[in-house]
Amino acid sequence: MKTVNNLFILLYLAWLIAASYWLVVSANGDWRWKASESCENLRWHAEATRCLAAIERVESWCDPNAVGDGGRAVGVLQIHPCTVEDANRIVGSRLFTCEDRWSMAKSREIWWTITNHYSWRQPMEIVARRWNGGPRGETKPATAAYWTKVRREMDRMEGRR
């Protein structure tokens, strides 16, 4: 019986954590549950996670030791130092270092920081093109080919091609 109670408590706590994560502040400051918005957030996050995996394949074929762009871009996501600086500006502290680019986990944290700031709930084309070309990457013709590669990789990963 104790095991069942412990399991129930753990499940309840997990539900509370998940539910509180999807609470949003309305315009007047009240905390309200917005089920439809949280479902959209979940869908977007799932799609962005697939996009991230595709970007890792396009950028480095998932190699955290990859070096590109004349040595300026490194790691699984080929992150430049200016991207690290931008992520730190967004979070408001020196959370990330250039050494973090070599870490797959930290590179992903940088990616999520940048993506949530510039591309929250945007279509994946915009997410990928902004990652490649900066905050206005979707307006740069050069990022269209990058999106084609990412989209092709997403399709491959989902078994469409």
CA dihedral 121, 134, 156, 42 (to 10 degrees): -20
Identify the pLDDT of residue 41: 87
Q: List all residues 6 or more positions away from 152 whose beta carbon is below 8 Å from its beta carbon.
A: 161
Question: Locate tokens 């307006």: which residue?
Answer: 139
Q: How far apart are the first and last CA of the chain?
A: 50
| Cα(97)–Cα(87) distance, integer angstroms | 10
Give the list of residues 6+ apart from residue 34 with CB closer than 8 angstroms, or none.
Answer: 22, 23, 24
What gap in Å lies between CA 158 and CA 161, rounded to an integer? 8
Which alpha helices (H) appear in 22-141, and where do they start and end?
A: 35-60, 81-91, 104-119, 124-133
Closest to 20 (Cα-Cα) out of 37, 32, 10: 32
Residue 94 pLDDT: 97
With 0.85 as the threshold, say if the pTM is over it.
Answer: no
Dist. CA 114–CA 9, nearest whole Å? 35
* Structure confidence at residue 23 (pLDDT): 46
Per-residue pLDDT tens, the chain, 161 aa: give them. Answer: 556 556 667 666 666 555 554 444 444 454 455 556 778 888 999 999 999 999 999 999 999 999 999 999 999 999 999 999 999 999 999 999 999 999 999 999 999 999 999 999 999 999 999 999 999 999 999 999 999 999 999 999 988 76
Give the span between the Cα atoms of 115 and 155, in whole angstroms: 21
Predicted local distance difference test score (pLDDT) of residue 40: 86
